[in-house]
Structure 1
Amino acid sequence: MTSRFMLIFAAISGFIFVALGAFGAHVLSKTMGAVEMGWIQTGLEYQAFHTLAILGLAVAMQRRISIWFYWSSVFLALGTVLFSGSLY
């Protein structure tokens, strides 16, 4: 995966974060209980932090090629999909 791919992933993840946050606040809050909304909130928080970290790593990968930046971004992306995705 290149820095370009990670930038695209961060952009898509950011879009999903905003869309799910708005959907949860305006639509799901009327039909779900406090516990379920807490799960969604937790997933959104983790996704937001992971998205910012992936964005930072993608920018760092453009400036300097490092295997550490690469694997960090891969595992952050995987964690975002698996953890936040399981909460939604």
Structure 2
Amino acid sequence: MQSIFLFFGAISALIGVGMGAFGAHGLKNVLSPEMLTAYHTGASYQMWHALGLIGIALVRRDDPTSRLLNWAGWLMLIGIILFSGSLYLLAIMDLKQLGMITPFGGVSFLLAWLLLAVYAGRKPQTSRYSSRDR
């Protein structure tokens, strides 16, 4: 596979669009306003972090062996599963105990973004053009 994070980012965006549409059209008359808000929060965070995964995949093309980028990608994927997945299940199945899982997904998101920031801060500036091309 050319890029695992590009693949998971694209799949996550696909699922996020589907879940968002399902929530907007199929669940609006079924769920309480509170549960519908939780569901839409899951869909929104899934979409933003799917884009984050795609961004990590693109940055990783220039540095495929970076452990920071690798960890950031896996933590972002784990965050999507735990955060968005638990909110979907909480809203649809009314499983209140799943609310305990959601913060672990949120922490995964935070750590992924932190690792990406650390990577960006450590990455030396390189020019695409040599001095003779100026």
| Fold match (TM-score > 0.5) | yes
Q: List aligned pairs for 1:50-69, cutoff 5 A.
A: 50-65=49-64, 66-69=66-69
The question of whether the paired residues in 2 share the 8 Å contact of 1:17 and 1:44 is answered with yes
Aligned to 1:74: 74
**Greater RCO, CA 8 A, separation 6+:** 1
Deviation at 1:3, TM superposition (A): 6.1
Letter in 2 for 1:43: G
Deviations 1:43-64 (A, max 9, x none): 1121111111111001111121
Cα distance in 2 between the residues matched to 1:3 and 1:49: 22
Cα distance in 2 between the residues matched to 1:70 and 1:16: 22
Deviations 1:22-73 (A, max 9, x none): 1111110011110110111111121111111111001111121211111000
TM-score, normalised on structure 1? Answer: 0.92
Percent identical across equivalent pairs? 37
5+ residue gaps in structure 1? none
Cα distance in 2 between the residues matched to 1:20 and 1:70: 27
Cα distance in 2 between the residues matched to 1:3 and 1:76: 19
Q: Pick the structure with more helix per residue.
A: 1
Aligned to 2:83: 83
The answer to whether 1:20 aligns with 2:31 is: no
Aligned to 1:11: 10
Q: How many residues align?
A: 87
Structure whose alpha-carbon radius of gyration is higher: 2
